[in-house]
Structure 1
Amino acid sequence: MTTARALVVDDIHMSYGDFKAVDGVSFEVAEGEFFGILGPNGAGKTTTMEIAEGLREPDSGSIELLGESPFPRNLALLPRMGVQLQASAFFEKLTAREQLETFGSLYGVRSARIDEMLELVGLADKAGTQEAKLSGGQRQRLSIACALVHDPDIVFLDEPTAALDPQSRRNLWDVLRAIQDRGKTIVYTTHYLDEAEVLCDRVAIMDHGRILALDTPARLVRDLDAATHVILEPTSMPVTEARALPGADNVAVDETSLTIATRRPAPLLAALAERGTLDGLQVRTATLEDVFLQLTGREYRA
């Protein structure tokens, strides 16, 4: 059985003068999928999203959104898509409920739907609070509620957890999971690699306007074939003894830890267990962040 496609991006290009913001990007997103677009600053993520949403016309290439072209502005698609931009603007002095009622009125949304959305994003107890008095995390959740109030089939979220504290980020993860559980398709960008690894069914890693890798987070990590790092207390054993352990490929020690890199963790851990040196031991395997850094480099991006 073939899964229906919510979004098809085919060889899109977009330049601003001599700068190629998007340079031959292609991907598909299945209905109900949580799809992430990752990349450093200036990679082309937001431009790609804006083209997919129909906000920009690409120089070349094509977009198929829910079976139709989103550009020029397709009025038939507007009720079926929700968009949350990087910077959200709300109406001054309106409460959370009034903000949602205003957005919902554009689509003929009933008041029961407003209550449902406030409950979904955890703002039912803040319904009468003015937007300016909400915390950063609460405003982000309100912004997502505004994008969902008309019950769209596909939702575009551009860095929805940016600048949030860890607790607010985790709370928002629950909201995003609840959205997908309702059968919605989610396309989003983020700088948080741990977040993408947890939430996304598949991710595309972009840089310099191109997609460098596209797969499930687990497969991208597995294909990296990176070493496992076993971290011990620095005084747990001499460096010479650590280097002689079965499976030890490289050993590094500093004031806080002794780290053994290995591609055969099982015999190494067994040997450490025999020596009774498992107390305080940490095992670090490769993550999506390792894949990201290998593909895009470690240099600072302004």
Structure 2
Amino acid sequence: MTQTEVIKVDHISKHFREQLALKDLNFSIKQGEIFGFLGPSGAGKTTTIKILTGQLEQTSGDAMVLGRSVNKINESIYEQIGIVTHNSGIYEKLSVYSNLEIFASILNIDKKRINEILKRVGLYKDRKKKAKKLSQGMRQRLVLARAILHEPKVLFLDEPTSGLDPSTSMQIHKLLIELKNKGTAIFLTTHNMEEAAKLCDNLALLNDGKIVEAGSPKDICLRYDKNKRYKVLLRNNEEMILPQSIETAEKIDQWMGQNDLLTIHSCEPTLEEVFLEVTGRELV
């Protein structure tokens, strides 16, 4: 079954006075795909989200979201997209439930869905708590709940797990996978390469506003696996890294025959190592 293309970016660039923030971006995202847009702080990730959601106008090029040019986005498209950014505001003096109730009223959503979503993000027991009393992780989950309350076709997430504890991050990851499986296209920005490798079907590495590498996480890592090596652990707890060669193959065959081989892993580079190689920059 052919998946529908829901986002298409065609030669997008963005200037801020003398600074070129985005340089000739090209990519597309399909229905039911998690697309990672990865890079360090200041690389242009948030700027891209603002252009794709109609909050900022590009200098050149065009982009389509759900078949509509980003230059022609109006209020109706916000009924089909969800946005989670660092400046996604919540009503501090209202309860968790009331925050979602307002949004449900605006979009004519059955209020029965509010409790359903609160249970999914682990906030149901705190539904009567004032938003100002929430922890950072709980606030992040509330913003996410609001963004998916109307079951959007496209979800924009700007570093949704930044600063969250591992347990909360895992809850959010599980929810994102469920949304993807239901057909939601997810545009995820992050500088957490481990998170991206776990979640993303495809991704682009961004550096100084330019895409420097793109593809699936596995394909990108294998593309830079120039010195193929294998890490093995033997029954006697001896651990070693061996190059790809006929001799290594013979040793592995022998260890397997003697039931001495406990584990074997390929040593392709991580996404973070690939990023460092193609940009010369650390992820900060």
- TM-score range relative to shorter protein: 0.7 to 0.9
Q: Structure 1 CA distance, aligned partners of 2:79 and 2:95?
A: 24
Aligned residue number for residue 291 of structure 1 = 274
**What is the alpha-carbon distance in structure 2 between the residues aligned to residue 10 and residue 228 of structure 1?**
39
CA distance in 2, matches of 1:31, 1:52: 16
CA gap of 1:290–1:231, structure 2 versus 1, over 3 A, is farther
Is the Cα–Cα contact under 8 Å of residues 232 and 261 in structure 2 kept in the other structure?
A: no
5 Å-filtered alignment, 1:94-105, equals 94-105=94-105
1:147-181 CA-partner distances (Å, limit 9, x unpaired) = 11222211100000000111211111111112212
State the partner residue of 2:154: 154
1:187 aligns with 2:187: yes
Residue correspondence of structure 1 range 67-216 to structure 2 within 5 A: 67-216=67-216
Q: Give 2:231's aligned residue.
A: 230
**Are 1:263 and 2:244 matched, yes or no?**
yes
- Cα deviation for residue 75 of structure 1 reads 2.2
Q: Counterpart of 2:76 in 1: which secondary structure?
A: coil
What residue identity is the alignment partner of 1:5? E
CA deviation after TM superposition for structure 1 residue 47, in Å: 1.0
Q: Any idea what SS the aligned residue of 2:143 has?
A: helix
Report the residue type matching 1:98 in the other structure: S
Which residue in 2 is equivalent to 1:51?
51
Unmatched segments (≥5 aa) in structure 1: 238-257
Shift of residue 266 of structure 1? 4.5
TM-score of the aligned structures, taking structure 2 as reference length? 0.87
> Contact 1:236/1:277 (CA < 8 Å) preserved in 2?
no
* Amino acid in the other structure paired with 2:45: K
Contact kept, 8 Å, 2:10 with 2:27, in 1: the verdict is yes
Deviation, 1:268, is 5.1
Structure 2: any 5+ residue segments left out of the alignment? Answer: none
Q: Partners in 1 of 2:174 and 2:104 — Cα distance?
A: 23
Contact 1:15 1:59 in 2 (8 A): yes
Q: How many residues are paired up?
A: 279
TM-score, normalization: structure 1? 0.82
Q: 1:267 to 1:41 in 2, by over 3 A?
A: farther
Letter paired with 1:263: Q
Moved over 4 A (4+): 264-279, 281-284
Percentage of matched positions with identical amino acids: 34
> Are the counterparts in 2 of residues 57 and 72 from structure 1 also a CA contact under 8 Å?
no
CA distance in 2: counterparts of 1:209 and 1:216, whole angstroms: 20
Q: Distance in 2 between matches of 1:261 and 1:87?
A: 49
Please report how far the alpha carbon of residue 146 of structure 1 lies from its aligned counterpart in structure 2 after TM superposition.
0.9
Q: Which has the larger radius of gyration?
A: 1
